Amino acid sequence: MSDKLVDAMSNMKEQEALEITQALLDDGKNPMDILDASSKAMEIVGKRFESGEYFLPELMMAGEMLKQISEMVKPKIKGDVNSKKWGKVLIGTVRGDIHDIGKDIVIFLLDVNGFEVRDLGIDVPPEKFVEEIRGFQPRVVGMSGLLTLAYDGMKDTVRAIEEAGLRDGVKIMIGGGQMTEKVKEYAGADAFGKDAMEGVALAKNWIGGAVK
Amino acid sequence: MKERWITASPDAEEKQEKRFQTWLSGENIPFETPEAEAAYKERVTLVKDAIQMKKVPSRIPLSPAAGHFPIEYAGINWHEAMYDYDKTARAWEKYQEDFAPDFFHSPRTIVPGRVLGLLGFKLYRWAGGGLRDDQEYQFVEREYMKAEEYQDLIDDPTGFFLSVYFPRIFGALKPLEKMPLLPPVHEIPLVPPAVLPFGTKDVKSLLQTLGQAGDEANKWNAMMVQVSASIMGKGYPSFSAGFSKAPFDVIGDSLRGTRGVLVDMFRHPDELIEACERITPFMVKMGAAVCKATGHIMPFMPLHKGADGFMSDEQFRTFYWPSLRKVIIGLIDEGVVPQLFAEGGYNQRLEVISDIPKGKAVWWFDGMDMARAKETVGKVSCIAGNVPLSLLCAGTPDDVKDYSKKLIDTAGRDGGFIFSTGAGMQGAKPENVKAMIEIARNYGG
């Protein structure tokens, strides 16, 4: 039954996935197994995205399904959900830029891949990044931006992190449609990602070893 | 229903030639000197030859997308640019004079802040409207149309925009919620109820606000007309006139938002496709309107959500391309040349987008393998592009020169090419813009 859930979710059959979930819950199945099946499906979706079979519509749709299934399942879980968070990522759209769609997709993918993500929102000043690095202590910092004015926002943020003496403790990735090797050098980041899955791959690589 | 815009009409070629002749004539342009007039005509001819693909232009036309670079170059901030129209006009004149690209890219994208403010525009934020003075205007993506409303949009796009969408995106237009449906107003007893809302206090005050916004837009427009005349009078033709979009982007950008429209592909595929079809005639009319009024030939069409990575090839062929292709054919039928500005990458789309009549459009690329583009869509359409904005912002003049030379060698040697940038040049270093224009002029000659 939970194999069917994995199939339905990974093949974008929303209605079927929700019905199976309901049936599993009605049968008194362990809600944790349902969440495990959902995670497995998300992993398949992620792999298909990486291989170029799936694109943004599937990522979004999978996210929608996961959200609904989690809402159905969570009331049945007693105590804390044993999340498999295995690394902290701090992320925000840098000062000047107010775009959030790209950033939100990266956050969503990091989350389903088992990262603990803190979202600083949009138009985030360098001081805010610094303050949050001190408090949250992430291993990876992600900076998002769509516009070219984000280049300077990124550069200023990296400099502020350096000046605060925090640069050695974090890996910094930048992401957005206009990001290239040149921009990475300009900003002083450690790496850049052209799309959301590249961001996930970078974070995994830095933190080391993927969680199965 | 009648199937339209599947194949180009037999007289499309003739209409296009006629429009080119009108554009070429430079009628109504106050040329400063006979040399300026000759330069104007030479430049129009370069682009005409590049588009029609019947002969190789005498040199490669040079038309980088100015974007918002002239504002930065003039050292004015965004608030000044959007509220002091004279400053924007002078910034554009300075840019054109100092860099002298072949074409004039209008400052009409520097929209008047007061007009947006009067209307309570929510679709964007701008310097003076929620952003700091140094921030360029930016889109605020939301679900402005709910998924359940597709049928309302399909039934009556105009009514939906007027009385549902506008009240949501313009704070000041909330009273338009009361507007009657228009097709029912066609019999004597139907007249009084139709005008009832116009007697209410809030609709009266709304009409006054619209009048004020109209006055302000006219002030701004007068400045735009003046700057166009002064720059074109020096021999620089305008590169585009008017605007249109892919129907899918109208829905995806402005109505449903990225998340909404992508999920609709699974939840509401038929309604999404039908809505795109319903938007299509509006995009054809809109794209041709300014060209008809000004004697120009190229409407600018920025393309967004069909880029590489946003959707699969199959999804592109199903949801994005059919209605966009109809807009393209519809414009071609009017003798107009759609300027298809493919933002981001379009490397996965080359085969599909090559399915258009020859010599009738410009495909303008950004993150594109231009050698492959030349071999594919470049056989049927003029291609333009694609010096990367990241290089202009973060590279050196030598980087820019190297890229530009390679670009000319791969895409520019046998016609059908317009040298340009991959995006509007906001953020570019002036020395890089200068290097690019110099090399394009000397190496592309």
For range B375-404, the mean pLDDT: 96
Interchain pair B391, A195: CB under 8 A: no
Residue B273 lies in a domain: no
Residue A173 lies in a domain: yes
Clarify whether residues A190 and A96 are in a common domain. yes
Clarify whether residues A52 and A97 are in a common domain. no
Residue A82 lies in a domain: no
A148: which chain B residues are within 8 Å (Cβ-Cβ)? 389-390, 393, 426-428
Residue to test with chain A: of B122, B123, B262, most A Cβ within 10 A: B262
Domain encompassing residue A111: 88-207
* pLDDT (tens digit per residue) in B185-239: 999 999 999 999 999 999 999 999 999 999 999 999 999 999 999 999 999 999 9
pLDDT category at A74 given cuts 50, 70, 90 is: confident
Residue B161 lies in a domain: yes
Q: What is the ipTM of this complex?
A: 0.89
Clarify whether residues A122 and A193 are in a common domain. yes
* pLDDT (tens digit per residue) in A102-147: 898 888 888 877 889 999 999 999 999 999 999 999 999 999 998 8
Q: Which long-range contacts (CB under 8 A, 24 or more apart) does A174-177 make?
A: A174/A142, A174/A143, A174/A144, A174/A145, A175/A102, A175/A103, A175/A106, A175/A142, A175/A143, A175/A144, A175/A145, A175/A199, A176/A99, A176/A102, A176/A144, A176/A145, A176/A146, A176/A150, A177/A102, A177/A146, A177/B343, A177/B344
Interchain pair B311, A178: CB under 8 A: no
Clarify whether residues A122 and A147 are in a common domain. yes
CA distance A148 to chain B (A): 6
Instruction: Return d(Cα B251, Cα B258) in angstroms, integer.
Output: 9
Instruction: Return d(Cα B143, Cα B261) in angstroms, integer.
Output: 9
Residue A53 lies in a domain: yes
For range B388-413, the mean pLDDT: 95
- Which of B257, B315, B388 comes nearest A55 by C-beta? B315
B254 Cβ contact partners less than 8 Å away, ≥ 6 residues apart: B123, B144
pTM for the complete prediction?
Answer: 0.93
Residue A144 lies in a domain: yes
Q: What is the CATH number of the domain that holds A40?
A: 1.10.1240.10
Residue A28 lies in a domain: yes
Last residue of a domain, one of A49, A76, A103: A76
Residue A32 lies in a domain: yes
B394: which chain A residues are within 8 Å (Cβ-Cβ)? 151, 180, 182-183, 185-186
Instruction: Return d(Cα A60, Cα A196) in angstroms, integer.
Output: 12
Residue B347 lies in a domain: no
CA atoms within 13 A on the CB side of B10: 0
Residue to test with chain A: of B266, B315, B396, most A Cβ within 10 A: B266
Residue A145 lies in a domain: yes
Number of domains in chain A: 2
Last residue of a domain, one of A50, A76, A102: A76
Residue B5 lies in a domain: no
Number of domains in chain B: 1
CA distance B361 to chain A (A): 26
CA distance A130 to chain B (A): 22
Instruction: Return d(Cα B28, Cα A82) in angstroms, integer.
Output: 74
CA distance A15 to chain B (A): 10
Q: What is the pLDDT of residue B445?
A: 67
**Contacts with A, B 387-416, CB within 8 Å:** 388-391, 393-395, 399
Residue B232 lies in a domain: yes
Q: What is the CATH number of the domain that holds A160?
A: 3.40.50.280
Clarify whether residues A177 and A108 are in a common domain. yes
Domain encompassing residue B215: 77-90+108-236
* pLDDT (tens digit per residue) in B114-157: 999 999 999 999 999 999 998 999 999 999 999 999 999 999 99
Last residue of a domain, one of A32, A48, A76: A76
Q: What is the DSSP string of B252-289?
A: IIIIIHHHHHHHHHHHSHHHHHHHHHHHHHHHHHHHHH
Q: What angle do CA A83, A99, B283 make, to 5 degrees?
A: 125
